[in-house]
Amino acid sequence: MATTKPHRNLVRTYAQDLRLFGTPTKRAGLAAMLIVLLVLPTIVQDDFWLSVLIYSGVTAIGAIGLNLLTGYCGQISLGHAFFIGAGAYCAALVGGDLNLPLPLWLLASAAVGAVLGGLIGPFALRLRGHYLAIVTLGLIFIGEHLWRNLTWLTGGNNGTSVLAQPTIGPVDLGALELAGENYSRNQGYFWLVWALVAILALLTKNIARTRPGRALCAVRDHDQAAEVIGVRAGRYKIGAFMVSSAIASMAGALFGSYQQHVSPDDWTLLLSIQYIAIIIVGGLGTIFGSILGAIFVGALPALIDEYSSAIPGVATEAGGDGFISVFALNQAIFGLLIVLFLVFEPRGLAGIWFRVKAYFKAWPFSY
Amino acid sequence: MSTFLTNVFAGLALGSTYALVAMGFVVIYKSTGVINFAQGGLLALGAYLGYFFANNLALAFGVAILLACAAAAVVGASVERMILRRMVGQPPFAVIMITIGLLFVLEPLITAIWGFDNLPIDNPWNIRTVEVGGLVLGVRDLWTIGITAAVVVGFFLFFRYTSFGLAMRATAFDPEAALAQGISARRVYAVSWAIAAALATLAGITLAAGPAGLSPSISFIALAAFPAMILGGMDSAAGAVLGGLIIGLAEALTRGYQDELFSWAGSNVSVIVPYVLMILILLIRPYGLLGTKDVRRI
Amino acid sequence: MRMTNNGIGLASRAIGVALSLMLAVSACGGAGEDEGSGGGKAGAPGNTAGFDGKTIKLGVLTPLSGTVAVIGQPLTAGNEVWFDAVNAKGGIGGKYKVELVQEDTQYKTDLAVQKYNKIKGDVVAFTQILGTPPTLAVLPQLRTDKILAAPASLDALWVREDNLLPVGGPYQIQAINAMDYYLTDGGGSKDDVICTMIQDDVYGEAGQQGIDFAAEKYGFKVANTQKFKVGTENYAGQIGALAGAKCKMVFLVATPSDAAKIWGTAAQARFAPQWIGQSPTYTGALAQSAVAPYMEKSVWIMADGTEWGDDSVPGMKTMADDMAKYAPDQKPDFYFAFGYNQGRAMTAVLEKAVENGDLSREGILKASTEIGTVSFGGLTGDYQYGPAAERNPPRSTSVFAVDPAKPVGLKKLKYLIESDAAKEFEFKKADL
């Protein structure tokens, strides 16, 4: 009998198990995603959906950072909006006032974020769980005070223009020209933002699946037990804070550069709560979940908006007839969907994904 | 001196409101281990129910308060029964997110029913004042302090001397052991939501009985009460009261002496003082002033 | 090992496929330069984004849910009623009906940008963008897209912006006229202890700027300034400081629910200076609240136009009639009047554009520079439009006292003051 090939899912070594794109399905999935990333903006040219997806991409980046901290390292932070704001102002300074190109203002923001994260990180050594969450919430308010009073940097209450341009060398993603075809600013930003999502997802995935990632999980599950087996819990907590806020600051820089104007009203507690929502809805401790969550939370209101006006008894304009205005209804439906969704799948979107995957992995014996 | 006393009084009144909200947080946290982000929504709902009873049904204010508390308690218990009951044993993060989702649902529902305008709630307090020893005190502020004090005493008696109070403490301490003793954890959970909603209603109505009346933004006060809850210790009702009063006093006094003492730190330092204070105290006592240090085993 | 190599190979092949696919579609994939050409000179305007030959569509970006909806709702109702009335008379140029496309921003900048992108292709211009932060967030795109928008706030920042079509006298003007009135008919003197209490944001700063300008012109000093954050619960500290400074007059920049708390605290503290409030400080509900008696005694409000139901002002009568006809449930509200005025300014632009036979984006921007002075029937001062650099906003403001018996609770003390100092105030182009 000829030698039978092992099944594609057979794993023989630990290294094999850790491969990023080990199976043909995964590789096909990667290829499909890359194609979507490249082709989507040429098909969906509508500025509305592009801008929705650009904001979703920016939040996906921020959510990846937060998930690293909260999902992998177990440190809850409500202060994410603070780091995002810091990144935006840094982009305004480095990319706008100093007029440096994209890679520099992006990296400068990341550096500022890392430093700030390094300053906040030590709190995690002393505080635990919800206590840490609420203390980081204090960051939001202290940050807001700073943003309103440091007028030279932030423009005070008025906010400041962010003139950081998306230019890499001679290439200007704001007005891309390729093979004689002009691409709009929204198309350029879509590629920029989602390429960065892909790069950062890959980087964090690499952190998560290697030694530091295992250390983070050990700290999350029990920091003292982690110390016993030789993981320097304190170092990893601070490190997670630094990486997470560096990523958050990059998201902020992109947000500012795309929107071109930011003000202290942009970085409120609601933004932090939105990020928490994203990683929980997406699935804690999964990179893919952060991205799914960001799309879900970012694009769902737009989708609801498309269809809710068809519901009878709904007022579609201010002061119109109907029990509830379509605008209030959109909010309520959004909240309700989150509630229902988590009641049925507490592990979030990634949970559904894993179930689907498990189903097909064991197919035809899945039950 | 009288400026100082006025500020202290204002701080106590504000602190009492924080304390009421913070106790609501603590009751739910203690029995179910969840921070209830929907507390602000329940607060607004309770206050609007108070408006319904006091204005639309034209009931006496005291009766309206009691009915609103009862109605809000029913809402709280049914939310627990219909939604959160299903989440027992699920990851706490998902449960927290559900409370956030509830907040997103409650706010538009409230505005759909009552609209966005400021509504004056019929009440005997408003901006009336009494003069005590040369000091002018707001009647509403006095009632807020009084109600909070009564609630604190009631809490103490309830948990100390009633069997259901004991059952709640037992469940908070060790749910499984409590179950083994025949205590219904379900009832405990439902009752804690009911209590939290009633507390939120009290806070909401005392706020709305002031000159500003009632508007959807009243729910924001719940966020301001976070530091109070944490400062006192998340699982201590007494801590919530202490935390509330400390935060209230700190805020009012910094505001009162902003010009003399704090002008170097920018305008409105009083807004961030609660948070700074909270951070400092937590660095010294990581479980708050009266919170229990959780014993960790490996 | 083999597997890994294979993986890389496949991935790179996939990228190759994707790239070639992209190049293939790129022939039709760019969205960079598709701009509807406007239409012919004179004659009927050609079809363009937001105009199908019959109906002109206008965008509205405003908070219709959330806490700021209390302003967004009546303002949008004002827009609606104005255009309902225009349509009933036949429409723009007597033949083109106007339709509003409303989107909810929740007063958030990112949502404002998304919704702007959503409807910008369907409208010829925006007749309302509510709020300073959302307007600032959308402004860069308005410039690149060459679209005209009417901001629904009285910031001085807007006056010199080509893409914005403001109405009404900016906050600074209100503040200067307030001081003028106080120092003349109001019976105050420049030696009084004059104080301010302002909200800590752009809106508050605008009022403070006006007062500081007036201080220089009239030679008084601002003795004490108290700032507060929106939504503060307790104002004992600020009121204590103002009382301690023995203020005889306090200029207040706030929104209604904060103002109610501030005046309530002041009443309780038995502190009764002359308060003068910026227009958004007030809403009709305050006149029915417990603070009303105190306000009757101690508060004046600066606002545009005249008291509600004052038939001596022609614009007020028309507006009241229109409101009764098209929005019978609407309560009298100054935000409603603001939305109504915005409609009038936008209509002037559209009429001009139709006259020019060009409803394209450029055509509308051009029309906005050609409409000259627009009169608002006495609801707010005349606005002299033109190229942004030459615009001259109204310099007039009316003073009101609180009187619960009146429809919105306001009784006019003096109709449209136009002080010399207000005329001298210069609007500079801000670096936005």
Residues C279 and C289: beta-carbon distance below 8 Å: no
CB contact under 8 A, B211 and C263: yes
Structure confidence by residue, pLDDT tens digits, A8-42: 667 788 877 777 777 777 888 889 989 998 888 88
Phi, psi of A91 (to 5 degrees): -65, -40
Q: What are the tokens at B156?
A: 């103490």
Task: Report the distance separating Cα C167 and Cα C165, nearest Å.
Answer: 7
- Is residue C414 within 8 angstroms of chain B, CB to CB? no
- Take residue C393 and report the two structure tokens written for it: 């906003």
Token duo for residue A87: 């990144």
Distance CA B128, CA A82 (A): 41
pLDDT at position A1 is 52
**Is the Cβ pair B35, A323 closer than 8 Å?**
no
For residue B85, how many C-alpha atoms fall within 13 Å in the half-sphere facing its CB?
Answer: 15
Structure tokens at B11: 């701080």
Q: Residue C356's pLDDT is what?
A: 92
Mean pLDDT of B124-137: 84
Between strands C299-303 and A176-178, the pairing is unpaired
Residues 6+ apart with CB under 8 A from B88: B185, B189
pLDDT value, residue C38: 42
With beta carbons less than 8 A apart as the criterion, state whether A77 and A123 touch: no
Q: Which residues in C202-286 belong to E strands, given as ranges?
A: 222-228, 249-253, 274-277
pLDDT for the residue C138: 93
Alpha-carbon gap, residue C159 to A271, rounded angstroms: 32
**What mean pLDDT do residues B69-89 have?**
92
Q: Is the pLDDT of residue A321 over 70?
A: no
Query: What token pair was written down for A361?
Result: 């992995």
* A168, containing H or E segment: strand A167-168
Q: Which residue of A has its CA nearest to C330?
A: A319
A329 pLDDT exceeds 90?
no
| Closest partner CB to B104 (pick from A134, A331, A342) | A331
Angstrom distance (rounded) from CA C14 to CA A36: 11
C200, C231, C268: residue with CB nearest B220:
C231
| Cα–Cα–Cα angle for B142, B143, B149, rounded to 5 degrees | 95
Looking at residue C432, its pLDDT comes to 63
Write down the pTM of the prediction: 0.87
How many CB pairs lie under 8 A apart between chains A and B? 130
Question: Helical H runs in chain A?
Answer: 14-18, 24-43, 47-67, 80-91, 102-120, 123-126, 129-149, 151-154, 185-209, 211-221, 223-228, 233-259, 269-282, 287-308, 326-344, 348-361
C-alpha–C-alpha distance, residues C363 and C367, integer Å:
6
Q: How far is it, in rounded angstroms, from Cα C269 to Cα A56? A: 50
Amino acid in position C334? F
Note the pLDDT of residue C39.
43
Binning pLDDT at 50, 70 and 90, where does residue B215 land?
confident
How far the first Cα of chain C sits from its last, in Å, is 57
* CA angle at B196 for the pair B191 and B199, rounded to the nearest 5°: 125
Ordered DSSP codes for C21-65: HHHHHHTTT--SS-------SSSSPPPBTTB-SSEEEEEEEE--S
Q: What span, in angstroms and rounded, lies between the C-alpha atoms of A58 and A290? A: 11
DSSP E strands in chain B: the ranges are: 129-132, 135-138
Q: Is the peptide bond before C63 cis (omega within 30 degrees of 0)?
A: no
Which chain A positions have a beta carbon within 8 Å of C201's beta carbon? Answer: 148, 157
Q: What pLDDT shows up at residue C42?
A: 56
Number of residues in chain A:
367
d(CA B208, CA B123): 9
pLDDT at C27: 41
Q: How far apart are CA C127 and CA C51, in angstroms?
A: 15
Q: What is the mean pLDDT of residues A234-263?
A: 94
Q: What pLDDT does A360 receive? A: 80
Residue A270: predicted pLDDT: 83
Contact B108 C233 (CB under 8 A): no
Is it the case that residue B51 has pLDDT exceeding 50?
A: yes
CB-based contacts of C138: which residues, under 8 Å, 6+ apart? C61, C112, C113, C116, C129, C149
List all residues of chain B from 76 to 135 with a beta carbon under 8 Å from chain A. 83, 86-87, 90-91, 93-94, 96-98, 100-109, 111-112
Instruction: Answer yes or no: is pLDDT of B255 > 90.
Output: no
Take residue C420 and report the two structure tokens written for it: 């010399």
In the chain, the amino acid numbered A90 is C
Task: Assess whether pLDDT exceeds 80 at residue C30.
Answer: no
Q: ω into residue C393 within 30 of 0, thus cis? A: no
d(CA B191, CA B76): 9
Element (H, E) at B49: helix B39-51
Mutate to test the interface with A, among B110, B275, B296 (most CBs of A within 10 A): B275
Q: Which chain B residues are Cβ-neighbours of A315 within 8 angstroms?
A: none
For chain C, say whether A43 makes contact (Cβ under 8 Å). Answer: yes
| pLDDT, average across residues A172-193 | 86
Whether the CB of C231 is below 8 Å from some CB of chain B: the reply is yes
Complete DSSP assignment for C379-391: SS--EE-SSGGG-
One-letter amino acid at C340 equals: Y
The answer, yes or no, to whether residue C36 has pLDDT greater than 70, is no
Q: What are phi and psi of C373, to 5 degrees?
A: -90, 130
pLDDT at res. C24: 42
What average pLDDT does this structure show over A205-214?
A: 91
Would you call A183 helix, strand, or coil by DSSP? Answer: strand
| Strand C383-384 versus strand C373-374 pairing type | antiparallel
The mean pLDDT of A340-365, rounded to a whole number, is 83
Residues C4 and C10: their CA atoms lie apart, in Å, by: 10
Contacts of C429 (CB under 8 A, 6+ apart): C160, C161, C388, C389
Quote the pLDDT of residue C157: 86
Q: Is the pLDDT of residue C303 over 80?
A: yes
- CB-based contact C392:C398 (threshold 8 Å): no
Rounding to the nearest 10 degrees, give the CA dihedral for residues A261, A265, A267, A268: -160
> What is residue A322's predicted lDDT score, i.e. its pLDDT?
64
Q: What are B172-196's pLDDT values in tens digits?
A: 888 888 889 889 888 999 999 999 9
User: How do residues A114-170 score in pLDDT, each as one tens digit?
Assistant: 999 999 988 888 888 888 888 888 899 899 989 988 988 998 888 888 988 888 878
Residue keyed to tokens 């060398």:
A169
Chain A: closest CA distance from residue B155 (Å): 24
Residues 6 or more apart whose CB falls under 8 angstroms from that of C288 comprise B120, C404, C409
Query: Quick one: what percent of chain A has pLDDT higher than 90?
Result: 38
Q: How far apart are CA C284 and CA C103, in angstroms?
A: 26
**C25: confidence class by pLDDT, cuts 50, 70, 90:** very low
Q: Touching check for A181 and chain C: CB below 8 Å?
A: yes
Pairing of strands C299-303, C222-228: unpaired
Distance CA B239, CA A194 (A): 47
A8-22, B240-254, C152-166, C238-252: range with lowest mean pLDDT: A8-22
Do B180 and B48 touch, CB atoms closer than 8 A?
no
- E-assigned strand segments in C187-243: 194-199, 222-228
pLDDT confidence of residue C149: 96
Instruction: Answer whether residue C311 shows pLDDT above 80.
Output: yes
Q: How far is the C-alpha of A145 from the C-alpha of B258, rounded, in Å?
A: 15
Q: Nearest chain C Cα to B106, which residue?
A: C66
The SS3 call for residue C364 is helix
| Three-class DSSP category at A230 | coil
- Dump pLDDT digits (tens) for C150-208: 999 888 889 999 999 999 889 999 999 999 999 999 888 989 999 999 998 888 888 99
Q: Which residue has the tokens 């707010």?
A: C380
Say how far apart CA A130 and CA B235 lie, in whole Å.
11
The ipTM, to two decimals, is: 0.87
Place of tokens 């614009």: C315
Cβ C109 vs Cβ C168: under 8 Å: no
Inform me whether the pLDDT recorded for C17 exceeds 70: no
Please name the residue that has the structure tokens 């929005």.
Answer: C327
What pLDDT is recorded for position C290?
Answer: 86
Mean confidence (pLDDT) of chain C? 86
